[in-house]
Amino acid sequence: MTAIKYSKIVILDDDQKGREFLSEIIGGWGISAEGFARHQTAIEYILENDCDLLLLNISPSNVSDLELIPQLEEKDLKVVITTASADKYMAIRALKLGAFDLLEKPFGSELLHHSICRALAVLETQRRSKELMHELEQSRMELLDRQRRLEKLNAQLFETNKALSVLARNIEREREEMESQIALRLRNLLMPIVTKLRSDKDFTKYETQLDMLTWHLEDLTSGVSIDPNVAKNLSSAEMRIASLVKNGVSTEEIARQLHISGNTVRSHRRSIRKKLKINGQYSLRNFLDSRSGPPRAVQSGKPLYVQ
C-alpha cells in the first residue's frame, strides 16, 4: 500500500455505479482516483496532469475506446482494461495496443489491488530505467565533451611545445653565433696588438707573459676554456698543445701548425699527462674536456698565434 499511495489513477467508465464502486475501493487504499464518463474529458485531464494509471472500461458498444491506448503512450502511464464481455480477440487486441492487464467483471478488490500494484511497480521500474538511461546519456555526452576539450588542449600543448622547441633552437643558434662573433672580434682586435708587442725588442723580456696571453686568447676564442687549475701546471708550449688537443687536432696537425716535429708534440703530450696525473687508460682530450668550461661555438682552423 505504501508503494502506491502517492499514485494518481483515472477511471474511465460510462457506468456511474461502476465508477463510484472503483473510486470507493481505490480511495480506501489512500490512492487519488478521478472518474470520468466521457473519454474526451478523461484524455484532457490525463494530458494536463501527471497520471500513473488508467482503468479503462470496455463494453461491446465502445470497443473503439481501445484506440485511446496508443494515444496515451507518450504520457508514460499504464492502462488496465476492465470489461464484462471479454473474449480472447479483445484481450489480444488490447495487449497489442499496449494495455498492461485485462480484468473481467465481476472481480474482487484483491485482484484489482494486485493488478494495480503490479502495473505501478512496473511503471516505477520503467521510469527509473529511463532516468538512469538519461543520466547515463548525459554522463556519456559530458565525457565526450571533456575528451574533445582534452584533445584540443593536447593539440594546443603540442603546438606550443613545437614552437618552444623551435624558439630554443633559435636562441641556441643565436647564442652560438654571437659567441662566435665575439671570439672573432677579440682575435681581430687583440692578436695584432700581441704580434706588435712581440716584434718590439723592449718586450723581449715579457716573452713568457706574451706566450701566456696568446694561449689564453687562443683558448678563449677556440670554443672552450680550460680549468685554470689545469693551466697553471703547464708551460706555455704545453698549454698551446693542450688547447689544440682539446679541440680535436691530431698530433701530426699540431706539429704542422706549430712548426715542430711529431716527436716533440708527443713528448709534450706525455709531459702534460704526467703533470696532470692522467692514467694511461684515459684519453687526454676527454680529460681536458671534462676540465673545460661551458662549450662555445668552436672556430676551427689554424691557431691564433704560433711562435
Same domain, 15 and 94: yes
Confidence bin at 83 (pLDDT 50/70/90): confident
pLDDT at 205: 76
Same domain, 116 and 208: no
Is residue 65 in a domain?
Answer: yes
Query: Is the pLDDT at 3 greater than 90, yes or no?
Result: no
Same domain, 95 and 16: yes
What average pLDDT score do residues 21-29 get? 89
Helix (H, G, I), strand (E, B) or coil at 8: strand
- Report the 10 Å Cβ neighbour count for 221: 24
Is residue 177 in a domain?
Answer: no
Is residue 300 in a domain?
Answer: no
pLDDT at 94: 85
Query: Is the pLDDT at 300 greater than 60, yes or no?
Result: no
Does residue 72 contact residue 54 with C-beta atoms inside 8 Å?
yes
Distance separating alpha carbons of residues 257 and 241, to the nearest angstrom: 10
Is residue 162 in a domain?
Answer: no
What average pLDDT score do residues 123-128 get? 90
Is residue 191 in a domain?
Answer: no
Which of 102, 117, 132 is a domain's end point?
A: 132
> Can you say how many angstroms the Cα of residue 166 is from the centroid of all Cα atoms in its chain?
23
What average pLDDT score do residues 14-33 get? 88
Is residue 140 in a domain?
Answer: no
Query: Is the pLDDT at 227 greater than 80, yes or no?
Result: no
C-alpha distance from residue 190 to each of 121, 210, 222, 283 (Å): 100, 12, 14, 32
Same domain, 122 and 31: yes
- What proportion of the chain, given as a percentage, has pLDDT over 70? 87
Query: Is the pLDDT at 304 greater than 50, yes or no?
Result: no
Q: How many structural domains are present in the chain?
A: 2
Which of 101, 132, 163 is a domain's end point?
A: 132
Domain containing 93: what range?
A: 8-132
User: CATH no. for residue 43?
Assistant: 3.40.50.2300
pLDDT tens column, 261-273: 999 999 999 998 8
Query: Is the pLDDT at 204 greater than 90, yes or no?
Result: no
What average pLDDT score do residues 71-94 get? 84
Is residue 303 in a domain?
Answer: no
Average pLDDT, the chain: 82
Is residue 126 in a domain?
Answer: yes
Query: Is the pLDDT at 179 greater than 60, yes or no?
Result: yes
- Of 68, 48, 70, 74, the closest CA to residue 56 belongs to 68
Same domain, 13 and 107: yes
pLDDT at 55: 93
Least confident of 53-62, 66-75, 290-299: 290-299
pLDDT at 294: 43
pLDDT at 291: 66
Same domain, 119 and 27: yes
Collect all residues with Cβ–Cβ distance below 8 Å to 157 and sequence separation of at least 6.
none
Q: Give one word for 78, left, alpha or beta, with left for phi > 0 and alpha for psi -120 to 50.
A: beta
Same domain, 19 and 116: yes
Which of 77, 99, 132 is a domain's end point?
A: 132
User: CATH no. for residue 262?
Assistant: 1.10.10
Query: Is the pLDDT at 302 greater than 80, yes or no?
Result: no
